[in-house]
Amino acid sequence: MENKGAILMERYELGRLLGQGTFAKVYYARDIKSGLSVAIKIIDKEKILKVGMIDQIKREISVMRLIKHPNVVELYEVMASKTKIYFVMEYVKGGELFNKVSKGKLKESVARKYFWQLISAVDYCHSRGVCHRDLKPENLLLDEHGNLKVSDFGLSALAESKRQDGLLHTTCGTPAYVAPEVINRRGYDGCKADIWSCGVILYVLLAGYLPFHDPNLMEMYKKIGKGEFKFPNWFAPEVRKLLSKILDPNPNTRISIAKIMGSSWLRRELNVKPQVNTAEEVNEGDPLDLDAVFVSTAEDRNSVKDQKPEMEKPLNLNAFDIISLSSGFDLSGLFEEADLKKEVRFTSNKPASVIISKLQDIAKCLKLKIKKKDRGLLKIEGCKEGRKGAVCIDAEIFEVTPSFHIVEMKKSNGDTLEYRKIMKDNIRPALKDVVWTWQGEHEQQRRQLLPAEQQQQGHEAQQQSSSDSL
């Protein structure tokens, strides 16, 4: 059915493969009746059932059905067969905005146009109770007329996802674009977090590289938390003023979208404004029983017609959700590319308590001392004096979500060769039950904008990995 030229649901003729990820493939297709070009995202039911992503897909449908805006990719309909789910979407053939900025900074007038369209789309999403939560150039597409289209609502949140404190509490997004308050894990306003991401995107459009960049994820998070970045010398005073207000680490004093849209820099020389649909103008279609989309019976071969779904309950994203649906949050971006020297990292989808318990068991078996410190830091100390004293290993646990942790292990004392031997022969094998992946074991292309001298290499790498977010 998925071969080129095949007819899907007696209506769509499938064409070339546009991209693919872990759970889905996206094809170009043509509506046989109208001749309209569309993109069809084909999701494997069995795969998403195995990893518990049903609610995630339902929420994505819910969100996309709420949004009808000229600068947002439109979802036309949802269909289902016994084994597949089909998203029939607007075909945007201009590619990712990432492709343009990976070649270098844009002209100020061009950046202004794209930023206006982005802010207009985000403002509309917020008015409909939707926070995107993963805004970045890879998720901004361009049509044949050069107009921007926001895509990929896989990590978005509805108003109903907020807790009683009125805040969101799921840590997600792409590291370089995520707001400080999201990292702090104390709850955040999704709309204000989106504004921060828009500011990072504006900086990237005008500079050609990221404002916050470091090969070590934790060091980059420190820079983001303090709002530490520098303006290139070609940034105009008006741009600097605007970006300083957008990239304000304090969400309570961060500029609002209304004020951004009224800023002198954004208004200057801007003649074309997108026509924003009002809530009354949105045609949400007939009601859709989302549960019917996930039924795996022989009788559901016919298309399930698109409809307005129920709002979803809060969802805690697991490691599979984040990494499979957010291409920029790939594992390579979490780790330094330098040769393994004094530190290694691994990811785990186990609770922190399980990881700590495992480390304690390992220390006991190896007759090593273990001491708990503050904020998820454990010190594992050898009892024997080596060439340079007793080997001491620090293990620090960082929570990305309650079920996704990054653990950094590094030598803080002793001989490096002895440390490596303990890690290789004892600790790494013993950790196999809690490790999801070790640093460097999965080859994934980096989806971050690189400094100017590395941009061409980054552009070539993204050609291979651009389908991951699909």
Q: What is the pTM of this model?
A: 0.61
C-alpha pair distances (Å), 228 with each of 124, 225, 236, 244, 249: 30, 8, 19, 11, 9
Q: Write out the catalytic residue numbers.
A: 134
CA–CA dist 187, 47 (Å, integer): 31
Torsion of CA 56, 59, 61, 63, to 10 degrees: -140
| Domains of the chain in sequence order | 7-92+294-318 (3.30.200.20), 102-277 (1.10.510.10), 331-438 (3.30.310.80)
pLDDT computed for residue 306 by the predictor: 40
Q: What are the two backbone dihedrals, phi and then psi, of residue 350, each rounded to the nearest 5 degrees?
A: -100, 155
**Taking Cα atoms as reference points, which of 278, 255, 253, 303 lies closest to residue 82?**
303
148 to 76, 198, 337: CA distances (angstroms): 18, 13, 33
* HSE-CB for 228 with a 13 A CA cutoff: 9
What is the gyration radius of the CA atoms in the chain, in angstroms? 24
Cα–chain-centroid distance for residue 423? 32
Contact 322, 400 (CB under 8 A): yes
Helices (H), 128-256: 180-184, 190-207, 217-226, 237-246
241 is in an annotated binding site: no
Q: Taking each helix axis from N to C terminus, what angle separates 237-246 and 190-207, rounded to the nearest 10 degrees?
A: 150
Per-residue DSSP letters for 77-126? EEEE-SSEEEEEEE--TT-BHHHHHTT-PPPHHHHHHHHHHHHHHHHHHH
State both tokens at 45.
């039911």
Q: What is the pLDDT along the chain (470 residues), one digit of tens a residue?
A: 445 678 888 899 999 998 877 778 889 999 999 999 999 999 888 888 877 777 778 878 888 888 899 999 999 999 988 889 999 999 998 888 988 888 889 999 999 999 999 999 999 999 988 888 889 998 899 999 999 999 887 666 655 455 444 555 454 557 889 899 988 767 888 899 999 999 999 999 999 999 998 878 788 888 999 999 999 999 999 999 999 999 999 999 999 999 999 999 998 866 544 444 443 344 444 445 566 666 543 344 343 344 333 333 333 333 333 333 333 333 333 333 333 446 788 888 888 888 888 888 888 888 888 877 555 678 888 777 766 778 889 888 876 666 677 888 888 888 888 888 888 888 999 998 888 888 655 434 344 444 444 444 444 444 444 434 43
